[in-house]
Copies of this chain bind each other. A is one copy, B any other.
Amino acid sequence: MKVTISDVARLAGVSTATVSHTINNTRYVSGDTKKKVYHAIDQLGYTPDASARSFRTGKKKTIGFIVPDISNKFFGTIIESAENYLSAQGYHLIIANTKENMEREETNLRLLTAGLVDGLLIASTMDDFQRLDALIPAGFPVVLVDRTFGTQKYSSVSVSNFQPIYRSVCRLAARGKRRIGIIGGLPRLSTTKERIAAYRAAAADCGLVQDESLILYGDSMENSAPPCLDRLLERGCDSIVVCQGLMASVTIAYLRGKGIQPHRDLDLVSFVDYDTHAYEFYYDQVDRIIQPVEELGRAAGEQILFQVERPEMPLLERVLTSAYRPFPEAGESESA
């Protein structure tokens, strides 16, 4: 049978209050009493029941994370990094996967806000902020991760998307490229919008052709890049910007399969969702935009605990910066 705090109290010859205070360090307990309590705990093999505790205190010591795609290494790494921080602070992480499906996100929001978690990290797939907001109880701690909305209602942690795209397009133009194609992610996402806006701005500023047919959208899943690539090649692009890591790695492989070599045959700018030595083997000869993925996860963890533990703290919109690493031309060195 289950061992409860009263069993411990009885065996130790003290009250349940004392046992509770002893294990939680929440008021003074004499050394002698402590000893008796711990001894009883050992003898009975007592473990405090987490759900009774969270029921009583209202704190679950658990954060929920609504993600669009766990199997995507970008989110896998963010999750890892957030979990790492949260577990060090004594919190657990509940994962809910939406597969970029808005209904699934709604369901998960409803479930997770119903007393299951203390706060929520959301990398939302919603097109409409209202739709998201409507499901969040007033005052519920939320941090938007990676994907934001143009409102100040919740804290957010994201990555600057404008600058690296703008820079990379300018650089392509400077190299003499005139027909720069771009493959974005889902059009409804803030990340995609910002990236496409940066592309448009740079194209205009550099005096490039404004050809809307060079702007295509994938769905960030693995198989969405090749058809876009085929169309861009048809349309005579001399360079391509791929706005998302998974699609980018598929792009490189797909082009290689067609005998098209990056840099030699076609200039490529590619988002990279993680930064490791190993992946440099894939990404040579490609201009890379490297997102600070681990920092993003950690920052998300920090922010949500701020919200949860210090509700008086102001909202914070934190924007991390990606590194832009153009493939070095002869005589150039790397830049961040």
Contact = CB atoms under 8 A, between A and B. Distances in A.
Interface of A: 47-52, 54-55, 58, 60, 62, 69-73, 76-77, 79-80, 83-84, 87, 92-97, 108, 110-116, 222-223, 225-226, 250, 253-254, 256-257, 274, 276-279, 281-282, 284
A250 B223 contact: no
A73 B203 CA distance: 36
A88 to B, nearest CB: 11
A87 B112 CA distance: 12
A76 B72 contact: yes
B111 A92 contact: yes
Given A95-B79, A250-B278, A116 B51 contact: yes
Contacts of A69: 80
Nearest to A226: B278
A250 B112 CA distance: 38
Given A79-B95, A92-B96, 20 more contacts: A47-B110, A47-B114, A48-B114, A51-B51, A51-B54, A52-B115, A54-B55, A62-B94, A83-B96, A87-B96, A87-B97, A87-B108, A222-B276, A223-B276, A253-B278, A253-B279, A253-B281, A253-B282, A256-B281, A257-B284
Nearest to A252: B281
22 contacts: A47-B115, A51-B54, A51-B55, A52-B55, A54-B55, A55-B55, A70-B76, A70-B80, A71-B77, A83-B96, A83-B97, A84-B97, A93-B94, A93-B95, A94-B94, A222-B277, A222-B279, A223-B277, A225-B278, A226-B278, A254-B278, A254-B281
Identical subunits present:
2
A328 to B, nearest CB: 16
Contacts of A279: 222, 253
Contact of A50 (B84, B93, B116): B116
A80 B97 contact: yes
Contacts of A80: 69-71, 97
Nearest to A65: B95
Nearest to A283: B253
A282 B95 CA distance: 30
A118 to B, nearest CB: 11
Contact of A49 (B70, B73, B115, B274): B115
Contacts of A52: 55, 115
Given A50-B116, A52-B55, A276-B223, A79 B73 contact: no
Given A114-B50, A115-B49, A278-B222, A71 B70 contact: no
A96 to B, nearest CB: 7
Contacts of A284: 257
A84 B98 CA distance: 9
A98 to B, nearest CB: 10
Contacts of A54: 51, 55
A278 B223 contact: yes
A274 B114 CA distance: 35
Contacts of A256: 281
Contacts of A112: 92
B51 A115 contact: yes
